Amino acid sequence: MKPIYVPKGKAKEYGDYAINIYTGCPHECYYCFAPNVLHREKEKFHSCVVPRENIVEETRKQIEREDITGKLIHLCFTCDPYPMGYDSTPTRDIIKILKDSGNHVQILTKNGADAARDFDLLDSRDWFGITYTGYSGHTFDRNYIPQEEPHSGSPHDRLLALATAHQIGIKTWVSAEPVLNDADVLDFIDSADYVDLWKIGKLNYHPSTIDWKRFGEAAESLLQSKRRSYYIKESLRAEMTEDKP
């Protein structure tokens, strides 16, 4: 078992190395790609959420065996490192192992409240990120849970964790993928000065009324005007350039 791996395809746009800690994710986001990638039934993927067998010890062994150090390692692609309602101690243990071996972590979560408990392990060489798809004005309602992400943490708690991370010197990023409410995402880009890096992507494999070319151009123009670091995912970039010679 080699928990740390090199992502391929679209996942490569997020990082050079990654690790998936849990067998599934309870958040039940309707746009989730993981069950298809893992060739698993959605119901089982969302209900069977346990740490992968011996994941902590196997991570330690791989790092020692391959002398993995100085790498930025993404947590996680096919699961959330902080599954709502579950014990995330394995995530904390793995972060400790990665940091003690001279590596750094890039976290992406929809559970800001639990993730914030591990901020004491992170420093200015680590990245803390949240998924933000656009929430029609409900972002700052602590009790609002989007129907598209019915068992995730609230957007309010995600933004609170993001702002806290920025304040204590952890680098912050936002994965605005998939964008579900383009107007709200643009408003967030305009106002959030505590985000160090944006990664913007379209909704794939599902119908949408969003004009992706128009949105992509508006997002890029706004990000440039605010002098913010960003990356436009390839599928959205293709929409933005399809009419150009």
- pLDDT above 90 covers what percent of the chain? 91
Classify 4-241 by CATH class.
alpha beta
The per-residue pLDDT for 245 is 47
| Chain segment 194-214, per-residue pLDDT in tens | 999 999 999 999 999 999 999
What is the sign of the dihedral through the CA atoms of 167, 131, 69 and 71?
Answer: negative
- Of the given ranges (141-145, 152-156, 164-168, 195-199), which has the lowest mean pLDDT? 141-145
- Check residues 93 and 10 and name the one with the higher pLDDT: 93
**Amino acid identity for residue 206 in this structure:** H
Confidence of residue 111 (pLDDT cuts 50, 70, 90): very high
* Residues in contact with 10: Cβ distance below 8 Å, sequence separation at least 6, in sequence order: 233, 234, 235
SS3 135: coil
**pLDDT at 10 exceeding the cut of 70:** no
| Chain segment 42-100, per-residue pLDDT in tens | 999 999 999 999 999 999 999 999 999 999 999 999 999 999 999 999 999 999 999 99
Confidence of residue 1 (pLDDT cuts 50, 70, 90): confident
Domain boundaries, the chain: 4-241
Q: Is 208 exposed, middle or buried (0-12, 13-18, 19+ CB in 10 A)?
A: middle
* Average pLDDT taken over every residue of the chain: 95
- pLDDT above 70 covers what percent of the chain? 97
Give the residue carrying structure tokens 């011996």: 54
Confidence of residue 137 (pLDDT cuts 50, 70, 90): confident
Asked if 147 and 29 count as a contact pair (C-beta separation under 8 A), the reply is no
Asked if 151 and 84 count as a contact pair (C-beta separation under 8 A), the reply is yes
The per-residue pLDDT for 16 is 80
Confidence of residue 145 (pLDDT cuts 50, 70, 90): very high
Query: 41: how many CB neighbours lie within 10 A of its CB?
Result: 11
Using omega within 30 degrees of 0 as the cis cutoff, is the peptide bond preceding 76 cis?
yes
Token pair for 156: 């309010």
Number of residues assigned to the chain: 245
Kindly list the distances between the CA atom of residue 143 and the CA atoms of 76, 152, 153, 157, in Å, as whole numbers in the listed order.
25, 11, 9, 9
Instruction: Read off the DSSP letter of residue 109.
Output: E
Confidence of residue 242 (pLDDT cuts 50, 70, 90): confident
**Amino acid identity for residue 135 in this structure:** Y
